[in-house]
Amino acid sequence: MSDKKLWSGRFSEPTDAFVEAFTASVEFDQRLYRYDIQGSIAHATMLARAGILSTAERDSIIAGLERIREQIESGEFDWSVELEDVHMNVEARLTSAIGDAGKKLHTGRSRNDQVATDVRLYLRDEIEIIRGEILRLQHALLDKAEQEAETILPGFTHLQTAQPVTFGHHLMAWFEMLERDRDRLADCNKRVNIMPLGSAALAGTTYPIDRHYTAQLLGFERPSENSLDAVSDRDFAIEFSAAAALIMMHLSRMSEELIIWSSAQFNFINLSDSFCTGSSIMPQKKNPDVPELVRGKTGRIFGHLIGLLTLMKGQPLAYNKDNQEDKEPLFDTVDNLKGSLKVFADMIPAITCKPESMREAALKGFATATDLADYLVRKGTPFRDAHEVVGKAVALGVSKGCDLAELSLEELRGFSERIDADVYSVLTLEGSVAARDHIGGTAPAQVRAAIGRARQRLAGQ
């Protein structure tokens, strides 16, 4: 395969060796080979239909491209830095293999619209894979939530005990975060699935191409409307990166809770040994490395989003070499997002709960204080007065070192004569969670109903 530049006609001096290596992208964009070949096959098919290529030329090009794909996948293809990128490597090999017909493939297109098409094809596929991993994680959460629909743990605000909730309800909160993430990716895909091919360098082409036909062959919703915008737009990559950052933010929040809950101080859950490591010096340690690493990778994904926004903010129309810098952050975002989702989907089913520890923690911190206030309101006490009464009862509990349910009826009636013996039914953890019996509430019956609705939603998609 010749390493002669396919654009060398204009130049009288060779490219500086360091500049050649510095400006080349083939070391990372070669992963687009499948999409580059897919786009080229569609382009050749369209050119033949338009009468720009003969049938024999089309067939020769397609057969040559398919052989190149096989060579790449078998490891027989030698990538050349001198040929700069995946597009020129493939085209040079094709021309070497089939002769002048290979030189005709680039008719009516440019590397500018070619790379934009490749990246969109790549991202379209990756979005579906990522949505599948989110779905797998959601199913794992639903199964675990169903198992733990009645398991009680303290709910927190400000990381202080607030009210008792069920663990199933807590897991369903994670499910809802991921449902929004999955929807966002589906919406993002609408803007990914627009075809730039045929925009050529920036102004379109003088050849009688049929962009609607090419779009149909490649499964795009439609061709782009404006050639200048099509070759320079990276909104779709930025939007995906923003959606990825949100997903990672959610996984990081989940990670933080798993890390806290698995600590000796909380002791709410046990993470499987398969997802933990030990210490090189402290033999007792079991470190939650997987959630910690996911939490750490979140900052990396956030950085890629900011990097892409910064990359684009100063660019005039149309294509600029700056855009070569879009691929590495995008590829890294895709790889780390997929890996994080996969490990979470594998890890969640292997978590075991420690309901006794959860219950013991829920009994601390006066988690049923709001229930006592609601009790008084139902007895006719204005809420603000009930709030003050309960505050005084909590203060007594603090001074005695006991929970509200451990105060005597006489002690409780000292704060309000409306308190009767039936108050103890609302001061139990089970009574507290069962009382939240409405859609979106933490009552076990509502958790199971939410799981049922969620399964129906997933089954319909």
Q: What amino acid positions are annotated as catalytic residues?
A: 158, 279
- Token reading at 418: 């409306």
Q: Which residues, 6 or more positions from 126, have their beta carbon under 8 angstroms from its beta carbon? A: 334, 338
The closest of 335, 341, 44, 336 to 209, measured between CA atoms, is 44
Alpha carbon distance 18, 24 (integer Å): 10
Assign 421 to helix, strand or coil.
Answer: coil
Residues 309 and 238 sit within 8 Å (Cβ to Cβ): yes
- Token reading at 42: 């569609």
Alpha carbon distance 192, 123 (integer Å): 7
The closest of 149, 163, 109 to 361, measured between CA atoms, is 163
Alpha carbon distance 81, 126 (integer Å): 26
**Residue 109 dihedral angles phi and psi, to the nearest 5°:** -145, 170
Alpha carbon distance 452, 360 (integer Å): 29
The closest of 45, 94, 39 to 67, measured between CA atoms, is 94
Alpha carbon distance 332, 330 (integer Å): 5
Interstrand relation of 194-195 and 222-223 (parallel, antiparallel or unpaired): parallel
Residues 444 and 452 sit within 8 Å (Cβ to Cβ): no
Residues 108 and 200 sit within 8 Å (Cβ to Cβ): yes
Q: Which residues, 6 or more positions from 356, have their beta carbon under 8 angstroms from its beta carbon? A: none
Residues 137 and 341 sit within 8 Å (Cβ to Cβ): yes
The closest of 111, 97, 95, 98 to 43, measured between CA atoms, is 111
- Token reading at 425: 């039914």
